[in-house]
Amino acid sequence: MQLIQEQIEALRTEIRHHNHLYYVLDDPQIPDVEYDRLFRELQALEDAHPEFICSDSPTQRVGGEALSEFGNVRHELPMLSLANVFSEEELDNFDRRIHERLKDEAELEYVAEPKLDGLAISLLYVNGVLVRAATRGDGETGEDVTANVRTIQSVPLRLLGENYPARLEVRGEIYMPKAGFSQLNQGLAADNLKTFANPRNAAAGSLRQLDPRITAQRPLEMFCYSMGIAEGGQLPGKHYAILQQFKAWGLRVCPEIRIVQGAKACMGYFNELGARRVSLPYEIDGVVYKINSLKTQQELGFVSRAPRWAIAHKFPAQEAMTELEAVEFQVGRTGALTPVARLKPVFVGGVTVSNATLHNMDEIERKDVRVGDFVIVRRAGDVIPEVARVVLDKRPVTAQVITLPVLCPVCGSEVKRSEEGAVARCTGGLYCPAQVKEAIKHFASRRALNIDGLGDKLVELFFEQGLIRHVDDLYRLTKEQLVALERMGAKSAEKVLAALNTSKTTTLERFIYALGIRDVGESTAKALARHFGSLEALQAANEETLKLVSDVGSISAASITQFFKEEHNAKTINNLRTLGVQWANYEAKPAEALPLAGKTYVITGTLSRPREDIKADLESLGAKVSNSVSKKTTALIAGAEAGSKLEKAESLGVMVLGEMGLLALLKV
């Protein structure tokens, strides 16, 4: 039996080698017939000896039953988005800001690469074996698409070579080549099925099939472009060198990636690649520049949800002319009326556009947009199409001036325009169905009450069927009501009700954020919870008291007091509490008075509790929890199998705490 097992492993190694040559290096060394012979030989041996089948065998790419839904994956390190530049001047400003921050005039070394028009993905390899693949999602949480990604031939199920980290997260882009996209659409059209508008939509739609066997039939590819986490192993200190190491481990890296010196060389790369854009076998919508040195990256850090050391340089937006047929005003969660242009359909930027944003009344008046005008519609990448300008030479005499509605188009309440003039809002508050619907979607979202499975479509369905009219109605839903809905079985109904019941136990900051108070985001909600300690204290606060809280300015203080003055808001909150929504109060302390205020911790390795729980405990004591170790780190919380972060902490002389040290820290 040992001889058979060795024969199976030898075949797997040989097939992986040829897969790497064919799918990654584009350099096959054996004819297809010989490859097929090797593959069939491996299949025959595994069929005869199923006890030797393993998940990373080349024969196991396609298989398994269709999923009923995708699970959620919380990224250990957030998948951040990039800021954009659209001109040489903006690129120079980006480069200048880095020099100023580093206080160094030496030319910077960048890695330039095509910005692929696909779907961001995270691959997790444990001991060299692919164990999980997740979409970017909202950057914090994505969808588990492991079964589908395993069907993509250019994604290795097992890394080649050796010396890879015990836990390695690789990030990249899944895309559909132009030729594959054309072939797919031809096949769909021949079967009288709906075709895809562009390769990006085709890639996203193919990757999100609940049946991996369908994904396996789609011509998807992947390029890797960065590292997420690496624990239990060493990697080079340069981004470009890491990508070359990826290639040695069998991961596919775009051959267009280059090292360039300074902003002028970045611009040269941009112009050169732009000239070849049409001839590339895949769609790109720009170029990405990243500082090559990881040490410099860490020194520069992040701003908001984007790194300071990387930027996306977008190609000029694509434009087209069409007719503006009508303008409708949509009402959002905060009551803001957004004018939407209804256009005569026009093909621009790879998709057919029939709607475009007009932003607000100030923009309409500034551009002098009228119904009946011929307008230029601009679309840049994934940005919502916008009406860029009016073609005045083609304005008909029948063109009509656009006016702001006096009454809300949804509930008929009065519409008031802000003093600044730009934003107009419905005054109907939570009695306006449009606002209530969006408020419920926000209330149920992951960062708010996190009602698992209660997505936008389900909220829309509940509204259509008259099951909910206010946020608190969610907790009055019954199994009988849900089972009566179309395509809602008993198990699905029980799952929704269980999620609603689970969400009743929350935290004060989550509840404050879930209320959807204008100008109150997550960090402000957390600061309010820590400062006041209870909802009652927050409700009783005046504007001057609120402004004593970090993160709260005059505008947000006014929004908070106005929200709690509204009788229907107070009634909704009381109803929610009566229906069982609860949380533990805090001892009311200003953030700076908390025992760990001003201290920064990093968590790594495997600990006895989830990292998110530990993070929450530390933050409740006033600490900041970071993803990277630096000289400013107070201490590293290290569990089993701690890797590069532990090594860096030791090299910088940063204090390292284990489980016992963490327990002692939390008892302060």
The verdict on pTM exceeding 0.75 is no
The answer to whether the beta carbons of residues 295 and 312 sit under 8 Å apart is no
Q: Which of 37-51, 427-441, 467-481, 601-615 has the lowest mean pLDDT?
A: 37-51
The pLDDT of 240-256, averaged and rounded, is 95
Alpha carbon 156 to chain centroid distance? 24
CA atoms of 182 and 156, how far apart (whole Å): 26
Q: Which residues are catalytic?
A: 115
Q: Which of 101-105, 557-561, 637-641 has the lowest mean pLDDT?
A: 637-641
Q: Classify strands 635-638 and 624-626 as parallel, antiparallel or unpaired.
A: unpaired
The per-residue pLDDT for 605 is 83
The pLDDT of 431-446, averaged and rounded, is 87
Banded model confidence at residue 64, pLDDT cuts 50, 70, 90: very low
Res. 235: pLDDT tops 70: yes
Res. 105: pLDDT tops 90: no
Q: Which of 419-423, 469-473, 570-574 has the lowest mean pLDDT?
A: 419-423
The per-residue pLDDT for 24 is 57
How far does the chain reach from its first CA to its final CA, in angstroms?
A: 59
Query: What's the CATH number for 429-503?
Result: 1.10.150.20
Res. 243: pLDDT tops 90: yes
CA atoms of 346 and 542, how far apart (whole Å): 52
**Measured over all CA atoms, what is the biggest interatomic distance in the chain, rounded to whole angstroms?**
88
CA atoms of 320 and 397, how far apart (whole Å): 22
Q: Check for a shared fold between 84-314 and 318-417.
A: no
The per-residue pLDDT for 63 is 46
Q: Where are the alpha helices (DSSP H) in 20-170?
A: 32-48, 88-102, 146-149
At the second CATH level, the architecture of 508-578 is Orthogonal Bundle (1.10)
Domain 318-417, CATH 2.40.50.140 — does that match?
A: yes
The pLDDT of 242-249, averaged and rounded, is 94
The per-residue pLDDT for 35 is 67
- Share of residues in the chain with pLDDT > 70 (%): 92
The per-residue pLDDT for 180 is 92
The per-residue pLDDT for 193 is 80
Q: Which CATH number fits domain 2-60: 3.90.330.10, 1.10.287.610, 3.30.300.180, 3.40.50.720?
A: 1.10.287.610
CA–CA–CA angle 563, 565, 568 (5° rounding): 80
Domain 84-314, CATH 3.90.1150.110 — does that match?
A: no
The pLDDT of 3-30, averaged and rounded, is 74
- Share of residues in the chain with pLDDT > 90 (%): 40
Res. 369: pLDDT tops 70: yes
Res. 617: pLDDT tops 80: no
Q: Which of 22-26, 133-137, 301-305, 452-456 has the lowest mean pLDDT?
A: 22-26
Res. 587: pLDDT tops 80: no
Q: Where are the domains of the chain?
A: 2-60, 84-314, 318-417, 429-503, 508-578, 596-666
**Residue 582 DSSP code:** B
CB-based contacts of 290: which residues, under 8 Å, 6+ apart? Answer: 110, 111, 113, 226, 239, 297, 309, 310
Taking alpha carbons only, the member of 418, 419, 401 closest to residue 336 is 418
Which range has highest mean pLDDT (1-10, 236-245, 479-488)?
236-245
The pLDDT of 612-624, averaged and rounded, is 77
Structural Rg of the chain based on CA atoms: 28
Average pLDDT score over the chain = 86
Q: Which CATH number fits domain 596-666: 3.90.1300.10, 3.30.365.10, 3.30.70.100, 3.40.50.10190?
A: 3.40.50.10190
